[in-house]
Structures are given as structure tokens and as C-alpha cells.
Amino acid sequence: MVDKKEKRNEKVPVFIDGKIISLVPQNSEHINLYVKWLNNEKVRKYARWEMPRTVEDVKRWFEPREGRVPWFVGFEVWHKKDSKPIGQVGLAWIDWVNGWANAFAYIGEPEYWSQGITTEATEMLVEYAFNELNLNKLQGGAAVENIGSWSVAEKIGFKFEGIRKHEMYVGGKYLDVKTYRISKEDWVKSKK
């Protein structure tokens, strides 16, 4: 049996290395952790996960999809100093023909909020999407009340597109959602 200390020191398969975090492939051994995050009331409040998620639901993420073009690419956000996964980041609803995807990020461990981690993870994801996957545009949205999420988008160069009125039902009321996008062209210009 592997003790917790030995487990924390194991080498993780880093896909993209950053300063505070690394992006690593999702790990089916962490399904219970993902379920914990997805069902945490604080984490899911603005994430649009209205229904409870079970271990069986998350196991389906890892089922092979032969013959289908992938519509989703996801990573664990691995905290380097603490040697543990703390959230996820990725691309969903990828349209390979038209070159766009929906970007998402969340930190499942609230004690890591407000430390610049989501900003770093999102920057790494955008770089990957444009430079390795050759996508042309990323989009996303966040409830107006979810200042943390939309401020990350603005900080790294996503452009505000508009507000979808009464788009999300949270805490007994309908909330407006701010929508954002970033093009590969704008991203490249911002890096010069």
C-alpha cells in the first residue's frame, strides 16, 4: 500500500508546465476528487452544474469514443508546490471545422482561490489552443455576479461581447451572463 506522503511525491505527467501550476492529463484515479469538486456548493454555484454528479457520471469521461472527433480536451490543474490537483481547465464543444471552442476553468479547492492560479491556467490553455491545436477563437461566459471569472477573462485579453439576459438560474433568481471571446489574431498581437 502506498502512503499519502509517497503518493504526493510521485512524478506527474506534465503536459504544460507553468510557474505555480502545471497542466496534466486528467487522471481516472482522481474521479472521486472530481466528483467532490463538481458537487461542492461553493465551487458549482456559478458553474451551471445544477444536477448532482456521481462517480459513474465522471467515469464516462474516460470511456473511449472511437470513430468520433473529440469535442472536449481537459486538464487537471496541478499545484506544483503542494504536489496535488486543485482544479480543471479545458476546451469544450470544440468545432474543428470552424476553429473555435468554449474555454472553461475552475479551481475545486476554495483555499486556492484568489491566488492568480486560474489566470495562469487560462493563459496556458489559450496558448495551447492557438499554438498547438490551431484554433482560431475561444469563447466563454460568466455570471455578472461571478467577478472572479470574468475578471480573469478580461485580464488575459478576452474581449467583452455582450450580456445574455436572465441566462442562469442561481439561488432562486435569474442572473445575466457576460460573454467573452478572444481570437488567435488578437492573442498573437498581445504577445508582441
Q: Please check whether residue 182 lies inside any domain of the structure.
A: no
Residue 43 inside a domain? The answer is yes
Position 103 in a domain: yes
Is 147 part of any domain?
A: no
At 68, is the pLDDT very low, low, confident or very high (cuts 50, 70, 90)? low
The answer as to whether 176 is a domain residue is no
* Residue 4: pLDDT over 60: no
pLDDT at residue 1 is higher than 60: no
User: 95 near 114, Cβ under 8 Å?
Assistant: no
Rounded to two decimals, the pTM is: 0.86
Instruction: List pLDDT tens digits, range 50-66.
Output: 777 878 878 777 777 76
CA–CA separation, 103 and 122 (whole Å): 8
Q: Is residue 162 part of a domain?
A: no
**Is-contact 153 104, C-beta < 8 A?**
no
Mean pLDDT value of segment 59-80: 82
What is residue 49's predicted lDDT score, i.e. its pLDDT? 65
Specify the residue for cell string 489566470: 119
On whether residue 152 sits in a domain, the answer given is no
Burial of 170 (0-12, 13-18, 19+ CB in 10 A): middle
pLDDT tens, residue by residue, 9-48: 457 899 999 999 999 999 989 989 988 998 888 888 777 6
Q: Which one is predicted more confidently, 5 or 127? A: 127
Non-local CB neighbours of 68 within 8 Å, separated by 6+ positions: none
Encode pLDDT of 135-192 as tens digits. Answer: 999 999 999 998 888 999 999 999 999 999 999 888 889 999 999 999 999 999 988 8
Take residue 37 and report the three cell numbers written for it: 469538486
pLDDT given for residue 62 in this prediction: 74
* Residue 125 is assigned to a structural domain of this protein: yes
Residue 107 sits in which domain range?
4-135
Count: domains in the chain:
1
Tell me, what's the pLDDT at 136? Answer: 97
The CATH number assigned to the domain holding 22 equals: 3.40.630.30
- Mind spelling out the 3-state secondary structure of 125-152? HHHHHHHCCCCCEEEEEEECCCHHHHHH
